[in-house]
Structure 1
Amino acid sequence: MRVGMLTAALPDERLEDLARWAQTAGLQALQVAAWPAGSTEPGAADHLDPARCDPGAAERVRSLFGRHGLALSGLAYNDNPLHPDPARREAVHRHLETCIDAAADLGGAPVSMFVGRNPSVDVAADLADAETVLTPLVERAGERGVDLMVENCPKQDWHPDAYPGNLAYSPQLWEWAFDLGLWLNFDPSHLPPLGIDPVAALRPYVHRVRHVEAKDVETFPDIRDRYGYLGPVEGAGDPGEPWWRYRAAGLGEIDWRRVIDVLHEGGYDGVISIEHEDPVWSDAPGQVRAGIELSHRVLRPLLVAEG
């Protein structure tokens, strides 16, 4: 296993500069944010434009990574393929297709996505719709030699009542996704706020994990005991008062020693990609880089190089 980072934490920096800094920081891989250019979605970044990733551009990216001793652990584009607006949904699907094609040209890196949700219909209808609209994407990825994987982020901000807006948030839904031919981009930080033990949830599914994202989570039980797991209701207190927040690895409650042990026992030998969203270490790019280095110092000693 190797430690890398998701580039979205530093959206205003060039991929070339991120690669140089990653090498200096001792990171071994980059998971590259590949949203459409100029996207204003929270957490979006466009360090690689898949629509312009022709063979020449792909060769330049491969050369860049080679010069800095980095692996490309994947492309990330997490938008809503089940968006209720047909035009927006179509745009998301077209961009996912370009991500798949670019990943193939870059050597077969996996592509991370969300299942999404249309909150105007019930979950059963959404899942049936997803089977119809995601299957062509899975088939396209298979034809290009690319693994399409879903991240288990619940995306409650995509639902008007703060219910999960991404139908890949639980082991039950992972199994549904696996039946479609999708893989898992596993992020343990999303599970404690749902009442799920990340180590117990991970153990049966390591063979379907294609990529791991590393961020921690800190919880505040006194706030949870007032609002419940779903958080505050609009009009009944401060709706912005969360009972948990993301942290750098080691500053929250994830037992990284056990997570990595379960991954190792299950045969995972891929990248642990730091996804930095810690509000305490995000006031400026320098703080973000320091937060990433904090996570790296926690994770790297847990990985034993095999001869």
Structure 2
Amino acid sequence: MAANMVQPWKIGVIVDSFRVGVREGLVKARNLGADGVQIYAVEGEMDPANLTAAARKEWKDYIASQGLTITALVGDLGGHGFQDRAANAAKVEKSKRILDLAIDLGTNVVTTHIGIVPEDRNGPIYAAMQEACAELSRYATERNAYFAIETGPETAAHLRSFLDGLGSKGVSVNFDPANMVMVTGDDPVQGVYTLRDYIVHTHAKDGIRLREIDPRLIYGSLGFEPMSHEKLAEQASTGDAFREVPLGEGGVDWDRYLAALRDIGYDGYLTIEREVGDDPEADIAAAVKFLRGK
């Protein structure tokens, strides 16, 4: 390859974005020319508790038969993330089982939300989150794997500070530029440089911010109820605070953002996530085409 040539991006798709089930979603991802897929693994047919060793091998072989690899599993357990110390033991255990499944299926990344990192570094919520994430980080590091926190609930600088306190990089970052644009108003390009030591996976999504909004309304927080899923979907589609839009139509400066990822040496997946819209398959097809042009 000529010295001035760069490797094309590896493109993934969250199969659940097709809203048709995992097996059919895998076929659709293959037909659209994706290289890999991300799969929810919290409940239902992909819940680790429901998959024997034989079933895991069957899934791995089937995914490979479609010419796909797994970019990551989604292991977001919802609620307040790891803000509630009383609930953390069960959540940490479930997260570990999802990571075990990921390794069995051939990936070493599980993306998740840990809850909004509070500003008060000396408070009980911050301490509970650090304790849980430090345990998860050690578990992942021992297995050469990662729990990847999705960006958005807090600024990149604040997230970086939290991660630096964990003692290892088994908890790292799933970089979602649209969440930063829509929620915190943070600059994704600068965010890449701020979090450069932790980025192990990315979501390809775009959005616009119309006004400031309390991140707790979106992500929830201990003692604070977020919008319902229905209200959140409505906000993302037609709301007055932010909107998720097709790639290239929002506030993410894709040329500068992708240049920053290349600059820090990131060569992982750009995994397309589409959470709104009446025709997700068409939107995902357009997103694959858009990223192939970069």
Please indicate the TM-score interval, normalised by the length of the shorter structure.
Answer: 0.7 to 0.9
- Aligned pair partner of 1:191 in 171, 180, 184: 180
Deviation at 1:18, TM superposition (A): 1.3
The answer as to 2:84 corresponding to 1:100 is no
The answer as to 2:3 corresponding to 1:4 is no
- Aligned pair partner of 1:170 in 144, 156, 161: 156
The answer as to 2:22 corresponding to 1:32 is no
Cα deviation, 1:159-178, whole Å, max 9, x if unaligned, reads xxxxxxxxx54322223224
**Which residues of 2 match residues 1-307 of structure 1 at below 5 A?**
1-11=9-19, 13-37=20-44, 48-78=46-76, 79=78, 80-84=80-84, 86-87=86-87, 89-117=88-116, 124-125=122-123, 126-154=125-153, 169-180=155-166, 181=169, 182-193=171-182, 194-220=184-210, 224=211, 228-230=212-214, 241-278=239-276, 281=277, 283=278, 287-302=279-294
Report the residue type matching 1:260 in the other structure.
Answer: L
Tell me the TM-score normalised to structure 2 length: 0.79
Look up the SS of the partner of 2:59 in the other structure: helix
Deviation at 1:229, TM superposition (A): 4.7
Within 2, Cα distance between the matches of 1:289 and 1:242?
Answer: 25
Look up the SS of the partner of 2:200 in the other structure: strand
Taking only the aligned residue pairs, the percentage that are identical comes to 25
Within 2, Cα distance between the matches of 1:178 and 1:10?
Answer: 36
Relative to 1, partners in 2 of residues 1:22 and 1:178: Cα closer, same or farther, differing over 3 Å?
Answer: farther
Deviation at 1:266, TM superposition (A): 1.3
Q: Which ranges in structure 1 are unaligned for 5 or more consecutive residues?
A: 38-46, 155-167, 234-238, 303-307
Deviation at 1:203, TM superposition (A): 2.2
Look up the SS of the partner of 1:32 in the other structure: strand
Within 1, Cα distance between the matches of 2:213 and 2:47?
Answer: 37
Within 1, Cα distance between the matches of 2:81 and 2:282?
Answer: 34
Alpha carbons 1:82, 1:118 under 8 Å: kept? no
Deviation at 1:32, TM superposition (A): 0.8
Report the residue type matching 1:82 in the other structure.
Answer: F
Alpha carbons 2:83, 2:128 under 8 Å: kept? no
Relative to 1, partners in 2 of residues 1:65 and 1:266: Cα closer, same or farther, differing over 3 Å?
Answer: same
Aligned-pair RMSD on alpha carbons?
2.6
Q: How many residues align?
A: 259
Within 2, Cα distance between the matches of 1:118 and 1:139?
Answer: 19
Report the residue type matching 1:217 in the other structure.
Answer: G
Report the residue type matching 2:156 in the other structure.
Answer: S
Cα deviation, 1:85-110, whole Å, max 9, x if unaligned, reads 835x4443232121011112223420
Within 2, Cα distance between the matches of 1:207 and 1:173?
Answer: 12
Within 2, Cα distance between the matches of 1:65 and 1:114?
Answer: 26
Deviation at 1:83, TM superposition (A): 4.7
Alpha carbons 1:19, 1:64 under 8 Å: kept? no
Within 1, Cα distance between the matches of 2:181 and 2:92?
Answer: 30
Q: Which ranges in structure 2 are unaligned for 5 or more consecutive residues?
A: 1-8, 218-231
Cα deviation, 1:25-78, whole Å, max 9, x if unaligned, reads 1111101111223xxxxxxxxx62222333222211221121111110001122
**Aligned counterpart, 1:161:** none
- Where do 4+ consecutive residues of structure 1 move more than 3 Å? 83-87, 121-124, 228-231
